[in-house]
Amino acid sequence: MRDLYPAIEPYHQGKLKVSDLHTIHYEESGNPEGKPVIFLHGGPGGGITPRYRQYFDPQLWRIIIFDQRGCGQSTPYAELQENTTWDLVRDIEQLREHLKVTQWVVFGGSWGSTLALAYSQNHPDSCKGLILRGIFMLRPSEIRWFYQEGANHIYPDAWQEYLKPIPPEEQDDLVSAYYRRLTSKDRQVRLEAARAWSVWEASTSKLVPSAASKQYFGQPEFAEAFARIECHYFVNQGFFDRENQLLANIDRIRHLPGVIVQGRYDVVCPMITAWELHQTWQEAELIVIDNAGHSMSEPGIKDALIRASDRFAAL
């Protein structure tokens, strides 16, 4: 099994003002002359971590990673205004031009896969290929499964904690009930909701749940942006015109090399979505990891992603 490349520091970090309101934080690591890859993090609202650099051979890749609007070191923190899928798609293109990249490989898991599909379908000429993991297309059925009815059958214990901030009379529409609290003027109300929302996701992301990731997701500095931005995208149905938009537009990227890595026991983004994507995009390679859940740190997922990035380095 392949493991992560050694930890590295960026050779360059910067800020890019992408609108009157928003500035995004980005970093470049690895080889400045290497093949460019843009890493799209999850959530939306998850921000970046140094580990993301370690999925790529630093001799071969110019590894470009950024905090999407409102999270990590991007500012303003947890801001929902001017924060839509199409704003992020424009930011990626603006960052590409700013860094004088002609084409890059697009790497994204979970919400990062949603954004990778949206971006590549709008800018196919900017893309060399796609490495996708834990596929999420932000359709109503996927939101319903994880935040209303479905995943609770597998994690009733964690679900009880997720339900706590919401009184029974509001539980028939949990995403809306959470949205009201996450946008409350009362900081305590916001933070309580943000913590419960985020810990639910941390509790369900790994085949074998980890206390460390629950602790990380539960910290207010992480949870507030993660929960607010996720919930904002979900109440707005990802800002898509129609629910199957990303499948309907596959022809725009069909010619690009693509790999889809999916954990069999992914509870956050169940495999049906990866399956449907692959049915529509059969030219892409589907790799199912039979002993993994959602997280990119699961050993089998890590192995498959690193093998894929090694192969793509030769494109």
270 binds ligand STX (CB under 6 A): no
Cβ at position 152, least distance to ligand STX in Å: 15
36, 46, 165, 238: which one binds ligand STX (CB under 6 A): 46
* Residue 305 in tokens: 């992603």
Give the residue from 186, 166, 188, 187 showing the smallest Cα distance to 176. 166
Nearer to ligand STX, 60 or 115 (CB): 115
The dihedral built from the CA positions of residue 213, 219, 223 and 225, taken in this order, carries a sign that is: negative
Three-state DSSP at 212 gives helix
**What are the respective helix, strand and coil percentages of the chain, to the nearest 5?**
45, 15, 40
Three-state DSSP at 11 gives coil
Nearer to ligand STX, 44 or 129 (CB): 44
Dihedral, 173, 68, 138, 273 alpha carbons, nearest 10 = -140
Q: Which stretch binds ligand STX (CB under 6 A): 39-47, 115-123, 154-162, 236-244?
A: 39-47
Catalytic residue among 41, 123, 278, 294: 294
> 171: alpha, beta or left, given left = phi > 0 and alpha = psi -120 to 50?
alpha
Three-state DSSP at 63 gives strand
Dihedral, 135, 139, 140, 141 alpha carbons, nearest 10 = -50
Q: Which stretch binds ligand STX (CB under 6 A): 37-45, 60-68, 158-166, 273-281?
A: 37-45
Going residue by residue from 126 to 145, which x/- string records binding to ligand STX, judged by CB under 6 A? ----------x---------
Amino acid identity, position 221: E
41, 53, 69, 232: which one binds ligand STX (CB under 6 A): 41
192, 201, 224, 298: which one binds ligand STX (CB under 6 A): 201
72 binds ligand STX (CB under 6 A): no
Q: Half-sphere exposure of residue 60, counting CA atoms within 13 Å on the CB side?
A: 14
Q: Tokens 């930011």 correspond to what residue?
A: 91
204 binds ligand STX (CB under 6 A): no
67 binds ligand STX (CB under 6 A): no
43, 72, 238, 300: which one binds ligand STX (CB under 6 A): 43
28 binds ligand STX (CB under 6 A): no
- In the residue annotation, 29 being an active-site residue is answered as no
Distance CA 23, CA 26 (A): 10
110 binds ligand STX (CB under 6 A): yes
- Cα radius of gyration rounded to whole Å, the chain: 18
Q: Which stretch binds ligand STX (CB under 6 A): 42-50, 164-172, 184-192, 276-284?
A: 42-50
Helix or strand (DSSP H, E) at 122: helix 111-122
Catalytic residue among 67, 266, 295, 309: 266
**DSSP E strands, 41-180:** 61-66, 104-109, 127-133
Total binding residues for ligand STX by CB under 6 A?
11
Catalytic residue among 110, 113, 198, 309: 110
- In the residue annotation, 278 being an active-site residue is answered as no
214 binds ligand STX (CB under 6 A): no
What's the chain's length in residues?
Answer: 315
- In the residue annotation, 266 being an active-site residue is answered as yes
Residues near ligand STX, by CB under 6 A: 41-43, 46, 110-111, 136, 201, 205, 230, 268
- Which positions are catalytic? 110, 266, 294
